[in-house]
Amino acid sequence: MINATKKWIFLKISGAILVPLMIWFILNFISIYDQEYFIVVNFFTNPLSKFLFSLFIINAYFFSALSISEVFEDYIKNNKIKNVANTVLYISAVVIPLFTIILINRL
C-alpha cells in the first residue's frame, strides 16, 4: 500500500473516532465550565473521564500531526527543512499528550 494511502486511511479513521470524543468533551466541558475547583477535579479523577479524555488527547494530536504533516509535504520544498519540521511535529505529538496524561493521572 502506498504511504499516502495509509496516511489518508489513518486520517479518516482518526477523524471518525475524534467526532464522538469531541462531542463528549464539549458536553462535559459545558457542564463543568462555571463550577468550583473540586467539581472539576472530581470530573478528571473519575476513571471513565480519565480514560476518555486520554483517548481524546491522543487521537486529537495524532489527527493534527497527520494533517499538519500533509501541509508540510505540500508547501515546504526543501527536504531538510521538511524532515526537521516533521520530526519536531511528531515528537511534540507524542510528548504533549503524554505529559498531559501524566499530569491528569496525578490528580
Residue ranges covered by each domain of the chain = 3-105
Cell of 13: 479513521
- The pTM score is 0.85
> Strand ranges (DSSP E) for 12-95?
none
Name the pLDDT band for 83 (thresholds 50, 70, 90). very high
Number of C-beta neighbours around residue 31 at 10 A: 11
Three-point CA angle 38, 57, 29, nearest 5°: 40
Residue 99 has pLDDT above 90, yes or no: yes
Cell of 105: 493521572
The whole-number pLDDT of residue 54 equals 94
Look at the block and give the residue holding cell 491528569.
104
Q: What is the CATH number of domain 3-105?
A: 1.20.1300.10
Are residues 25 and 60 in contact, defined by beta-carbon separation less than 8 angstroms?
A: no
